[in-house]
Structure 1
């Protein structure tokens, strides 16, 4: 993994949703980053300004302060500009950050900001679909319903946790995706490297695909169980194709579709993420 010099310049892009969700964490992260490196801070108002700021980064290393959607947006912009190979991304998670944490990014503004300053770049695989979309963590068919976030505990740490919860209640929040009900068993053909893992004649309850290691995707198909629980079918390969009648899927933090055919291929070591050294 490549280690960064603290003297390099950072482009800190603060996603607008993060500013609404938890302004205190944004402020703390910005202060820690500014104390440890030369920073230029951008406050885009929406996705277009976000993309423009990232495209004009110059020699600065980009740091995204935001949720999982902001992280995926940054990777997508760099991928479509064909600039992922030469750009290491850093992220300070604020908001819904299960994806970032699953990739190894520390939780909490201070820990994540320190990892940006002192961490190292790790090259990670991702999935690229035939519409040029990217998947960092995994995808599922059918999409699972969106679950409401658990309420935050009230603590006595200067009332900060209680204050953040109050601000989130009073401030105009970011609209959440509507829950997507499970449509029940699907009839899908799933191919891994051109070979059928399951065909249309076998109803399935769920299909999951995730980047693995060594340029291979991990695929799991759960057939419809009648009586005893059916054994999942697992496979690994470089390309995965799913064919079916108007199916939807959840990729990372977003629901896509309906589509009748989608192919994903693994791009090995396609993107770099700054993580704590030694993690």
Structure 2
């Protein structure tokens, strides 16, 4: 039978039984540039966690619940998924591990925080790239994880990643998937700031009155140029899954698929047209492209963005690229 670790994320500022506050490991925190603030409240209800633990125990699993309040505490849990030492000295995941991990998530940002630490743990330095790593990947197949959503209200709206993927939300069903289910491999977006994206990113913002703020930047998807840096851009959606497929009713991404090995990018640009009577009318032109990588070079000082729900500001070039099938979830 399996050892199962049920991981929830918190903050050192939490009171017992409270939420996770803002920033830090809980909500995704900042990347290497410190640009992402993660300023959102991430409540972590205990009832679903205890119900899932009870369901696992009833099936004979050895269960441990852990609340991690720092990256180091997340890392200590992930170390249990390591393979035996390799001759090349690299830390590598164990594909035959008898330890299984369930991440209890109040937000997609919490799930991303764990995946980011998995990538940090198992991605080899370029100078030590092993021969058994696929040529189109920078990380090995990451360990399959279970996902326990903690917000049942989001299931119907399909706003979180678990709902988009059709993952079970009932604690007993999550337990069954982890013990009896099959892995479903999913694409991962890495970026050159050292972070990862599971769902997608949306670049752009609105003023206090809700009016969109136009910005400029050069946006390339592989060899396709969606903006040369001169267009006034309303928004740019970078999609792995479909969380940012629309913006205020405007269709951006047409067919985001986290299993197709590609990133889909859409740029919305206002276009002024004249009617037959000479009146000006503004419509939005959406330019789309798919590829393995996307690069955004801001022409303005700062571009606000959301990445898996975490807020940040882009003030220099950033690139995202696809790691096809790099991570996996347990499904029933």
TM-score of the aligned structures, taking structure 2 as reference length: 0.64
Superposition pairs of residues 40-79 of structure 1, within 5 angstroms: 40-48=63-71, 49-57=73-81, 59=97, 60-67=99-106, 68-79=108-119
Distance in 2 (alpha carbons) for counterparts of 1:262 and 1:86: 24
Kept after mapping to 2: 8 A contact 1:191/1:241: yes
Tell whether 2:289 aligns with 1:235. yes
Distance change (3 Å), C-alpha of 1:194 and 1:202: same
Distance change (3 Å), C-alpha of 1:16 and 1:260: closer
Q: 1:25 aligns with which of 33, 48, 52?
A: 48
2:115 is paired with a residue whose SS is helix
Q: Quote how far apart the aligned CAs of 1:143 are.
A: 5.6
Distance in 2 (alpha carbons) for counterparts of 1:105 and 1:123: 13
Distance in 2 (alpha carbons) for counterparts of 1:19 and 1:51: 23
Distance in 2 (alpha carbons) for counterparts of 1:114 and 1:238: 35
Specify the alignment match of 2:121 in structure 1. 81
Kept after mapping to 1: 8 A contact 2:186/2:326: yes
Q: Which moved more, 1:205-214 or 1:55-64?
A: 55-64
Specify the alignment match of 1:136 in structure 2. 198
The size of the alignment, in residue pairs, is 236
Segments of 5+ residues of structure 1 without an aligned counterpart are: 1-6, 146-178
TM-score of the aligned structures, taking structure 1 as reference length: 0.75
Q: 2:167 aligns with which of 80, 105, 119?
A: 105
Listed one character per residue, the Cα deviations across residues 125-173 of structure 1 (whole Å, up to 9, x for unaligned) are 011001221000111002689xxxxxxxxxxxxxxxxxxxxxxxxxxxx
Kept after mapping to 2: 8 A contact 1:16/1:43: no
2:260 is paired with a residue whose SS is coil
1:34 is paired with a residue whose SS is helix
* CA RMSD after TM alignment: 2.6
Kept after mapping to 2: 8 A contact 1:10/1:37: no
Q: Quote how far apart the aligned CAs of 1:186 are.
A: 1.0
Kept after mapping to 2: 8 A contact 1:44/1:53: no
Distance in 1 (alpha carbons) for counterparts of 2:311 and 2:285: 27
Specify the alignment match of 2:6 in structure 1. 12
Segments of 5+ residues of structure 2 without an aligned counterpart are: 19-43, 83-96, 124-139, 155-159, 241-256, 273-280
Distance in 1 (alpha carbons) for counterparts of 2:206 and 2:55: 36
Higher relative contact order (CA 8 A, sep 6+): 1
Q: Quote how far apart the aligned CAs of 1:70 are.
A: 2.5
Kept after mapping to 2: 8 A contact 1:241/1:261: yes
Kept after mapping to 1: 8 A contact 2:104/2:148: yes
Kept after mapping to 2: 8 A contact 1:187/1:204: yes
Listed one character per residue, the Cα deviations across residues 201-247 of structure 1 (whole Å, up to 9, x for unaligned) are 11111110112443211111111243242231111011100111222
Q: Which moved more, 1:226-235 or 1:131-140?
A: 226-235
Q: 1:215 aligns with which of 251, 261, 278?
A: 261
Tell whether 2:139 aligns with 1:115. no
Distance change (3 Å), C-alpha of 1:109 and 1:16: farther
Q: Quote how far apart the aligned CAs of 1:72 are.
A: 1.0
Distance in 2 (alpha carbons) for counterparts of 1:182 and 1:81: 42
